[in-house]
Amino acid sequence: MPIRHYLQFKDFSADEYGYLLRRAAFIKAKFKAVEKYQPFADPDRTLAMIFEKASTRTRVSFEAGMYQMGGSVVHLTTGDSQLGRAEPIEDSARVISRMVDIVMIRTFGQDKIEKFAEYSRVPVINGLTNEFHPCQILADLFTLVEYRPAASGNPLDALQGKVVAWVGDGNNMANTWLQAAELLGFTVHVSTPSGYEVDTKLAGIGNPACYKVFSDPKEACRGADLVTTDVWTSMGYEAENEVRRTAFKQWCVDEAMMAVAQPDALFMHCLPAHRGEEVTAEVIDGAQSVVWDEAENRMHVQKALMEYLLLGRLA
């Protein structure tokens, strides 16, 4: 089968996402029933994980998921890989991809992962870049479908017409939410401080109807089915921390914002969270929060993703 990469959300079609969401549910059910499911065991498949940005959830979810599927894992840190420093990225891609079956990279610039994929002989997955975070949004959508399924049983139907409120930085998460909305038929209400808006050109959005911009974060949450946010200062922007604390002060998801969302609205956060900054403790630890299921679901959707990239459609 031809090599496919997963570098940003729009790399796949809506039909492929319907399959992945169904497959993730199947794989998660196996995990919860403690039933062995190891499609990567014979022959053994190996995942190389390359981290230029440290992570807890990305490493554990990919590594545990690959082992549970019967595969093996090679973990490379900045000191081990040095993409584009010790040797050109294209040379690293040529070598690493001859020794493993699939690669996950968590790095800074999207240009690095695009260059690696261009010269790779195996599928490459974006574990996070400054511009996009597709695996996280895939997990968030799966969590939303789990909690608010469609009567038809079709996961794509569950997303149609939904409203997602994004409160905070116009960052990689916001970019990826807009790509998902454009592709899957829901709307994102975006509220960011002035100067931190989403760059829709960078996000690659062609249909402005998939999002609405609000200066007031509370108004962005009005009528939303899901309210979600991220830290005020993403990794790599630590020098801006104090400036951002001032700029983002009004963009803290609190009970007042959740009160104007739909009565059954959910709250999500990609974690780690800073209580009292981008979200109050009452919200993230409250009844509408599904952040722990959301975090676990990173593993299940990534197992489905790796299975699809390596083995194609199985059902």
Binding site residue list? 55-58, 82, 106, 133-136, 172, 230, 234-235, 270-271, 298
Rounded to whole angstroms, the Cα distance separating 277 from 250 reads 9
Separation between Cα atoms, residue 163 and residue 150, nearest integer Å: 15
Residue 288 a catalytic site member: no
Alpha-carbon distance of 158 to 25, in angstroms, equals 14
Bond preceding residue 155 cis, omega within 30 of 0: no
Annotated active-site residue 298? The verdict is: yes
Q: Report which secondary-structure segment, H or E, holds 239.
A: none
Cα first-last separation, the chain: 16
Q: Counting beta carbons within 10 angstroms of the beta carbon of residue 152, is it exposed (0 to 12), middle (13 to 18) or buried (19 or more)?
A: exposed
**Alpha-carbon gap, residue 203 to 282, rounded angstroms:** 32
Annotated binding site for carbamoyl phosphate: 55-58, 82, 106, 133-136, 270-271, 298
Active-site entry in 22, 106, 189, 300: 106
User: Among residues 140, 169, 225, 230, which one is catalytic?
Assistant: 230
Q: With H, G, I as helix, E, B as strand and everything else as coil, classify residue 79.
A: helix
CB atoms closer than 10 angstroms to residue 2: 4
Q: Is 68 a catalytic residue?
A: no
Catalytic residue among 210, 221, 252, 270: 270
Whether the Cβ atoms of residue 97 and residue 105 lie closer than 8 Å to each other: no
Active site residue 23: no
Classify residue 306 by its DSSP letter: H
- 20 with 304: CB under 8 angstroms? yes
Q: Which member of 136, 179, 288, 302 is catalytic?
A: 136
Contact assessment for residue 159 and residue 184, using Cβ atoms and an 8 Å cutoff: yes
Q: Phi and psi of 3, rounded to 5°?
A: -70, 130
Q: Is 169 a catalytic residue?
A: no
> CB within 8 A of 97, min separation 6: which ones?
103, 119, 120, 121, 122
Of 5, 189, 298, 300, the catalytic one is 298
Q: Which residues fall in the annotated binding site for L-ornithine?
A: 172, 230, 234-235
> Is there a contact between 163 and 186 (Cβ–Cβ < 8 Å)?
yes
| 106 a catalytic residue | yes
Catalytic pick among 23, 133, 189, 269: 133
CA distance 75 to 81: 10
Residue numbers annotated as active site: 106, 133, 136, 230, 270, 298
